[in-house]
Amino acid sequence: MAAAPVWSVDPRTGKQREQVAVEATAQEVDAVVRAAHAARGALADRRLRAAFLRTAAARLDEAGKRLVEAADAETALGTPRLTGELARTCYQLRAFADIVDEGAFLDVVIDHPDDTATPPVPDLRRHKVPLGVVAVYSASNFPFAFSVPGGDTASALAAGCPVVVKAHPDHPALSEQVAGVLRAAAVEHGIPVGVLGLVHGFDAGVELIRHPRIAAAGFTGSVRGGRALFDAAAAREVPIPFHGELGSLNPVLVTEAAAVERGEAIGAGLAGSMTLGTGQFCVKPGLVLVPAGAAGDALVKSLADAVGGTGPGVLLDHRMRDNFVAGAAERARLPEVDAPVAPGADGEHTVSAGFLTVPAGRLVRGGEHDLLLEECFGPVTVIARYRDDTEAGAVLARLPGNLTATVHLSAEEAAGRGRGAQLLAELTPLAGRVLVNGWPTGVAVAPAQHHGGPYPATTSTSTSVGGTAVERWLRPVVYQQTPEALLPPELRDDNPLDLPRRFNGRLEPGSKQ
Amino acid sequence: MAAAPVWSVDPRTGKQREQVAVEATAQEVDAVVRAAHAARGALADRRLRAAFLRTAAARLDEAGKRLVEAADAETALGTPRLTGELARTCYQLRAFADIVDEGAFLDVVIDHPDDTATPPVPDLRRHKVPLGVVAVYSASNFPFAFSVPGGDTASALAAGCPVVVKAHPDHPALSEQVAGVLRAAAVEHGIPVGVLGLVHGFDAGVELIRHPRIAAAGFTGSVRGGRALFDAAAAREVPIPFHGELGSLNPVLVTEAAAVERGEAIGAGLAGSMTLGTGQFCVKPGLVLVPAGAAGDALVKSLADAVGGTGPGVLLDHRMRDNFVAGAAERARLPEVDAPVAPGADGEHTVSAGFLTVPAGRLVRGGEHDLLLEECFGPVTVIARYRDDTEAGAVLARLPGNLTATVHLSAEEAAGRGRGAQLLAELTPLAGRVLVNGWPTGVAVAPAQHHGGPYPATTSTSTSVGGTAVERWLRPVVYQQTPEALLPPELRDDNPLDLPRRFNGRLEPGSKQ
């Protein structure tokens, strides 16, 4: 059987640009994974891998113009957005280098012997070690930040794990270019190029998750694809952690008082957030609870004005475009659903943004309107008009897990007078990030960030953005009664590496900060 | 259909003692889970739940004599061991109360806005919240420490999660008594009794893992049972974390120099560890690599003397007894396997401890001898005699994941002269706890403890013993741009609860320690 070709496609025309590669066979996947496994030892030195991450960032920066052009040709996301995304990606690589240097993620805990405990405690010294080779499944919608050089890769390398990336078919040429840059950065530090493997093809992705030398996986994509890989990871003879980000509706609740106070501004803000990147963000607000009545009407009118003024956009590929057009139409056909600005097909290759409205009561009892509680990828959102707080709460109670949940409050409510705190408590079970008076699009890279949430938002309780993302690729090991001469330096009493740690119960922050 | 009776059985005679309960129907499981779910709010106050854990420990202590008698009648583990186990269990409940008070497990991270970041960082404040109702599957072999009041229950309650325990059929009467004590302790603090549910029956256990209101599970038991529940947890519409401890061989490597230096002492120590609790510890050393030649011979002779002098023992139930007798016989029949002290049936209800020897070369290439690399529950271990370091390493390389791995070194090797550090590095990938010159039986309750390891030792990277066990039942939530007036006190700048945290990048240990 001839190897299947992998084409780079221009989403602005639907035309093939060039053949980039061929899909990897099972044997090829095996070779790539083995090469990554063989590169493990080279990442053991933390100082070296921090330097590697910084060099990777520098080389990506240097190649920026070329990479952004390559990304735009395959994704149509535009130069400004892609330039910003690459800057974010480099910032993230450097942030993980700092995390490696600090070493708090090693979770060092040292307990001296204690004969007064029940039972007595022997000398115990714990830290975390890398899991092994990590499989990373790239996203379509962030060709840098959630793809070859993105958060999964950066955090896995920071943890000391080699990576094999399954390229997304929407940007195979860029994936090859970026992998080349990362490999060249590895070579600068004497790290084998195998530390960053790249494979193309659906079947290769399935082979990858089943490979015995793959120790964990990160994924960003659809519920269907992610769940299939999650199931395969769980069905292995030796199951492995699968950290998948699958789908999210990102509900927004606007209180009556907030709508009265600044309904027009909220409508305009919502238009900006839901159309950002042509609605192709995982954190796009997909369901907005707006009060019935005049204040809510003003919000909806402002939204309609702003969305109606949005020009046509190109989606990442034509399959997505077809799904968007069909999904929007199917939703718009439901009883009592209106489309003040109709989302759907525009030209042959473009789509236009829009939104739907529905009485919130239609979302409370199940049935065909439950389709409106499923994510529709692209520039569309659903405005559910609620009659009272009870009805709004009943809709929230029916939602699956989300990456984000947002509430818009009036100034009085935000100041603690009113239901603000209670609404925050109601939104917390729904999501991993809860916002007040903001929009969920835009995921900052910061120590406190959490980009994850109850299933199907993610398949685990961890995050793919922010400092704690590194925790996914580690496991603890404790050494018992181990002579000082044999201990890794991380676990010695005199703390030669100046690591933050818990020492005989006390937290010691270290002096590196 | 009549409800299936649940009997308490005396393992010393195999006779039914009393009917304790009936197996829970699906409807009954549902009611128990709903009651637990309804009790969530009562655990939200951390000070209250710390007090509850301490009261639970106090009431278990007070009921100690009665509970130990009940446990001994169903498990035959003996009063001294059970008294110690109960003391450990109470110590553990109090240790988790201290952990709740300290609050480090909340992982508070606060980032003020930073416009210099790429992209800019808004105000972000993260902590961890309880997952929901936790299902706990009790172990046969630790009727206190890994059952109703054990580490899973204590850590879940510490995290703020109500618990539903699936009782182990080897000690149903004790399970009811202990649950009663814990519920009475809850009532003392105004916490609904539903906070600690208890169900009996195999089918009830399956219902439990599938129940939509169950948010996570902890399990200690066999590979077969644990894997079936792991698979069910992963196959749910909404998959949940399943923290199972399934099985472990707990390999031990004795270097030539160590055997020369103190072979007899090692043989005697091994005899004590492998027969402790009639060999029914998860961390029993099940495979010991001993050098061929005179020094190793002396070790084996010492082991034979000590094991041969061990009296007959009662296993936890007759099914285990049958499995042990059959498993030991099947292993002893393999080519080149000898039984210097034959393990197997003794009287009608008892077994005798023993051990097998095999040339290590038989364990290198697969085939029928791989049976020796599987855990055999009960008082038996396998001594593999190796010719050189390469052969010993080849056996280690074939082992599945373990809770523990142990090396016995000479004084010179322990002092860092020789292969000590290299052997430690070879053992680390095999297990979650690595010991030098000790025995794995006995798992201290301490902040640094890690009781877990690569699959099948555990199904996750976390631990069921030690302070970090609480992490299993939490998920992070970050609040973005949330006004101070609406923030939970844990996330306020002025830190009114004096929590350890990361504040604008800096670790602040707090002043409570």
At residue A257, φ and ψ (nearest 5 deg) are -65, -35
pLDDT digits (tens, 9 = 90+) for B153-195: 999 999 999 999 999 999 999 999 999 999 999 999 999 999 9
CB within 8 Å of B323: residues ≥ 6 apart? B377, B378
Instruction: For residue B411, give Cα distances in angstroms to A416, A479, A488, B258, B296.
Output: 66, 18, 19, 8, 17
Size of interface A-B (CB pairs under 8 A): 256
The residue of chain B nearest to residue A435, with distances taken between CA atoms, is: B480
Kindly give the pairing relationship between strand B350-352 and strand B354-359. Answer: unpaired
Mutate to test the interface with B, among A114, A231, A475 (most CBs of B within 10 A): A475
How near does any CA of chain B get to the CA of A13, in Å? 31
Contact A94, A58 (CB under 8 A): no
What interface predicted TM-score (ipTM) does this complex get?
0.97
Q: What mean pLDDT comes out for the span A461-488?
A: 96
CB within 8 Å of B508: residues ≥ 6 apart? A509, B495, B500, B501, B502
The per-residue pLDDT for A326 is: 97
Cβ contact, residue pair A104, B507, below 8 Å = yes
Of the candidates A119, A461, A478, the beta carbon closest to that of B433 is on A478
Mutate to test the interface with B, among A403, A486, A490, A513 (most CBs of B within 10 A): A486
Of the candidates B111, B238, B479, the beta carbon closest to that of A446 is on B111
The per-residue pLDDT for A73 is: 98
CB within 8 Å of A36: residues ≥ 6 apart? A133, A162, A163, A164, A194, A195, A196, A197, A213
- Cα separation, B18 vs B23, whole angstroms: 14
pTM of the entire structure?
0.97
Cβ contact, residue pair B234, A231, below 8 Å = yes
Q: What mean pLDDT comes out for the span B376-401?
A: 97
Share of chain B above pLDDT 70, in %: 99
Question: Which residues in chain B are contacts of A502 at CB distance < 8 A?
Answer: 447-448
Which residues of A participate in catalysis according to the annotation? 245, 282
Question: Which residues in chain B are contacts of A224 at CB distance < 8 A?
Answer: none
pLDDT digits (tens, 9 = 90+) for B188-227: 999 999 999 999 999 999 999 999 999 999 999 999 999 9
pLDDT of B342 over the 80 cut:
yes
Instruction: Write the DSSP assignment of B357-379 as a string of letters.
Output: EEEGGGGSS-SGGGGGGS---SS
Of the candidates B124, B481, B485, the beta carbon closest to that of A446 is on B124
Cβ contact, residue pair B436, A485, below 8 Å = no
The per-residue pLDDT for A1 is: 58
Question: Which residues in chain B are contacts of A455 at CB distance < 8 A?
Answer: 238-239
**Active site residue: B23, B207, B245, B375, which one?**
B245
The DSSP call for residue B114 is: B
Angle value at C-alpha B163, between B157 and B169, nearest 5 degrees: 125
Instruction: For residue A223, give Cα distances in angstroms to A219, A272, A458.
Output: 11, 25, 9
Cβ contact, residue pair A124, B507, below 8 Å = no
Instruction: For residue B45, give Cα distances in angstroms to A41, A222, B42, B510.
Output: 46, 38, 7, 20
**Active site residue: B207, B282, B375, B391, which one?**
B282
How near does any CA of chain A get to the CA of B119, in Å? 6
How near does any CA of chain B get to the CA of A5, in Å? 34
CB within 8 Å of B62: residues ≥ 6 apart? none
pLDDT of B472 over the 90 cut:
yes
> What confidence category does residue A510 fall into, taking pLDDT thresholds of 50, 70 and 90?
confident
The per-residue pLDDT for B1 is: 57
Question: Which residues in chain B are contacts of A120 at CB distance < 8 A?
Answer: 444
The per-residue pLDDT for A512 is: 74
pLDDT digits (tens, 9 = 90+) for B70-100: 999 999 999 999 999 999 999 999 999 999 9
Average pLDDT across chain A, whole number: 97
CB within 8 Å of B96: residues ≥ 6 apart? B53, B154, B155, B157, B158, B467, B470
At residue B161, φ and ψ (nearest 5 deg) are -105, 125
Question: Which residues in chain B are contacts of A480 at CB distance < 8 A?
Answer: 433-436, 438
Cβ contact, residue pair A481, B433, below 8 Å = no
pLDDT digits (tens, 9 = 90+) for B273-322: 999 999 999 999 999 999 999 999 999 999 999 999 999 999 999 999 99
Element (H, E) at B156: helix B151-159
pLDDT digits (tens, 9 = 90+) for A227-255: 999 999 999 999 999 999 999 999 999 99
pLDDT of A41 over the 60 cut:
yes
The per-residue pLDDT for A159 is: 98
B245 catalytically annotated: yes
Cβ contact, residue pair B509, A509, below 8 Å = yes
> What confidence category does residue A511 fall into, taking pLDDT thresholds of 50, 70 and 90?
confident
Contact A426, A393 (CB under 8 A): yes
**Locus of tokens 């027969």:** B275
Of the candidates A109, A117, A481, the beta carbon closest to that of B438 is on A481
pLDDT higher at B392 or B513: B392
Q: What mean pLDDT comes out for the span B407-428?
A: 96
Of the candidates B239, B434, B452, the beta carbon closest to that of A459 is on B239
Mutate to test the interface with B, among A450, A464, A473, A501 (most CBs of B within 10 A): A450
Kindly give the pairing relationship between strand A350-352 and strand A313-314. Answer: antiparallel
Q: What mean pLDDT comes out for the span A202-208?
A: 98
How near does any CA of chain B get to the CA of A183, in Å? 24
Of the candidates B432, B442, B448, the beta carbon closest to that of A110 is on B448
Cβ contact, residue pair A483, B454, below 8 Å = no
pLDDT of B430 over the 70 cut:
yes
Cβ contact, residue pair B477, A449, below 8 Å = no
State the sign of the Cα–Cα–Cα–Cα dihedral A257, A261, A267, A272: negative
Question: Which residues in chain B are contacts of A446 at CB distance < 8 A?
Answer: 111, 114, 117, 121, 124
How near does any CA of chain A get to the CA of B409, in Å? 10
Task: Give the count of beta carbons closer than 10 Å to the beta carbon of residue B80.
Answer: 10
Cβ contact, residue pair A508, B508, below 8 Å = no
Question: Which residues in chain A are contacts of B159 at CB distance < 8 A?
Answer: none
> What confidence category does residue B513 fall into, taking pLDDT thresholds of 50, 70 and 90?
low
> What confidence category does residue B510 fall into, taking pLDDT thresholds of 50, 70 and 90?
confident
The residue of chain B nearest to residue A472, with distances taken between CA atoms, is: B461
